[in-house]
Structure 1
Amino acid sequence: MTPFDTPAFSRSGAGTEAFAFGRHIIRITAEQTGGSLGCFEAEVPAGEGPPFHIHEKEEEFFYIQEGRFAFWCNGARVELTEGAVICVPRGSVHRFQNIGQSTGRLMVVMTPGGFEGFFPAVAVRDRPSVEEICQIGEQFNLRFVFDAAEAA
């Protein structure tokens, strides 16, 4: 991995697209930051968002670029709009959903980095099953929570 001793940046309009669970644009990779962080943009259609899940080793920072989102984290719920930020602690049961009327956009920073590779890993599969997605998730310290008691 490259040492993180020079700035990591992504110019406007740059990044690598991955079409998995909507459009994701990988802006900065763990490789560019010596593993310190990864950064991506997510375009989330109205009504969409991931199921409850846990990042076992990463904190997650969201900046709402556009739209209206609800976030659930360890039983708490908050609604946020454009310009707001939220940080989700590692190990927390959380999810988000676009509760607006149009596609929303999020900038997401994960620390340490590496999770940004999840979306390209899923995108190369042709219609992966839930089981396959969960297996890929495990490679990126991601666990989906399908047990209602654990998600509460």
Structure 2
Amino acid sequence: MQRRKFVQAAFAGASAMMVADTFGKTRSKKGFKVDSGKDRFNEPIKYRGVNPNDVKISAKDTDGQLSVFEYVGFQKIGPPLHVHFNQDEIFYVVEGEYLFQVDTEKSTLKAGDTIFLPQNVPHTWLQLSDKGKLVYFLQPAGQMEEFFKKMNELKGPPSEELVQQIHHAHGMKIVGPPISL
């Protein structure tokens, strides 16, 4: 009999915590617009100091459930092969051409194409065209905004050790080099 009461109490407690977690959030009740070429909070982030990587929907807007970024590339570059421990990523190519690698499989994407990158699977991409634009989603949002801000603050090229530390602090790990042509 006592075991049944314990199970019932545990279930009731867990249910109450889930309800409190759902209704205790501070999610905004209003929609918003982010203008073209603008960052959600007017705090633009430059990937590698050149390429705009603007927050369009912040983790703060969704209680950490989703974040959306717009990347405009002016260089034929991409990130090192890496994994996100807790986020799936979805990339939509708005303009240009990109080579994506998911685990060991490579795919070329052009404007209008979409690719899904599951968490804990190594992935990277390389911009192939002179100019490109991506819109990408992270679900759950994780700490990508903080990661990009931290990388943007660096003065000069960081050591590999520092880059790996920053990745780990934000739920990621570098597992290989970037794609090269």
Q: TM-score, normalised by structure 1?
A: 0.86
Runs of 4+ in 1 over 3 A off after TM superposition: 4-9
Instruction: Answer whether contact 2:38 2:44 (CA < 8 A) is retained.
Output: no
C-alpha contact 1:44 1:98 (8 A) present in aligned 2: yes
Q: Which residue of 2 aligns with 1:131?
A: 161
Structure 2 distance, partners of 1:81, 1:19, is 23
Alignment coverage as a number of residue pairs: 146
Identity %: 26
1:108 deviation in Å?
Answer: 1.0
Task: Check the 8 A contact 1:36/1:111 in 2, yes or no.
Answer: yes
Higher RCO (CA-CA < 8 Å; seq separation 6+) = 1
Unaligned runs of 5+ in 2: 1-24
Matched ranges for 1:21-60 at <5 A: 21=48, 22-60=51-89
Please give the root-mean-square deviation of Cα atoms over the aligned residues, in Å: 1.9
Tell me the alpha carbon deviations over residues 80-100 of structure 1, each in whole angstroms, 9 at most, x when there is no partner. Answer: 101111111011111101112
- Is residue 40–residue 116 contact of structure 1 (8 Å, CA) maintained in 2? no
For structure 1, list consecutive stretches of 5 or more residues without a partner in the other structure. 148-152
Corresponding residue for 2:45?
18
Task: Find the structure with the greater CA-based Rg.
Answer: 2
For residues 85-124 of structure 1, the aligned pairs below 5 Å read 85-100=114-129, 102-113=130-141, 114-124=143-153
Select the residue among 131, 142, 146 that pairs with 2:176. 146
